[in-house]
Amino acid sequence: MQYFDTHAHLGLIVEDPIEQLIVIQEARQAGVSRIVSICNSLHDFTQVYENLKSAAHVYHAVGVSPSEVQNPGRDWLQIIEQSVQLPRVIAVGEIGLDYYRKFGDKNSQIELFITQLDLASKLNLPVIIHNRDAGHDVLDILRDRLPPKGGVLHCYSEDAAYAEKALELNLYFSFAGNLTYRNARNLHETAGVVPLERILIESESPFMVPADHRGKRNMPKYLPLTARFLAEMLEVEEAKLAARLWENSNRFFGLPNE
């Protein structure tokens, strides 16, 4: 079995380049054959990309998250356009809205989100979407501005009713380690209504560690625990689910299914 970690903050797990390579090596040993490295800022992207140039199985997303709305950096749009020309940069993200942390003001977050959605359309890339306590606005915006290549609602946190509305759009639903928490009933119900071909999984490392490792820093190597839990919950053979998740992930990111 092989797994695709569609969302890992490798730069936040460890800063040292050698340790980052160790983290992804441990992931490969656990069956995680591909990882998408996610940045919060363009500086973060540049540093991690440089550190992992030699890691051919690590892919990258580039974008400005809502946490950086007050300081996206000078010429940030131009930097994103240049960065997507680099090898293995396959998505714009993570981008979106976060009303929980109250980064900047809502209008500034919305403007940043829409600008990057339009840029992703221009670049013909999918988007990785952050949503925290902003579900209504996220969905309203995506109805008008979702790029043709679609998007993924990463670390899905809404309920099944929201998912049914989101299914009308070209969106995937990515579940992280919090799916394994006993009290995550909204996620369990959602996983039961979303078609299997629209499901991805992610580590969201160093956050959202699976229940078996609560209290530890999350790592991509723990991703198979989330897959195993999902297989048991859906009553699907783990190997069949792993193959489906692998195919879904590669299809979404436009990668060969090999």
Average pLDDT for 52-74: 95
Cis, peptide link before residue 87, omega less than 30° from 0: no
3-253 fold: TIM Barrel (3.20.20)
How does DSSP classify residue 86? S
Residue 249 pLDDT > 90:
yes
Q: Would you list the domain boundaries of the chain?
A: 3-253
At residue 258, the pLDDT reads: 82
Least confident of 1-5, 55-59, 60-64, 99-103: 99-103
Residue 216 pLDDT: 93
Sequence-separated (6 or more) residues with CB below 8 Å from residue 225: 177, 180, 210, 212, 213
Rounded CA separation 86/100 (Å): 33
pLDDT band at 97 (very low <50, low <70, confident <90, very high): very high
Q: What is the mean pLDDT of residues 138-145?
A: 98
* Residue 121 CB contacts under 8 Å (≥ 6 apart), including other chains: 145, 147, 148
**Cα separation of 181 and 207, whole Å?**
14
Give CA–CA dist 252/244, Å, rounded. 12
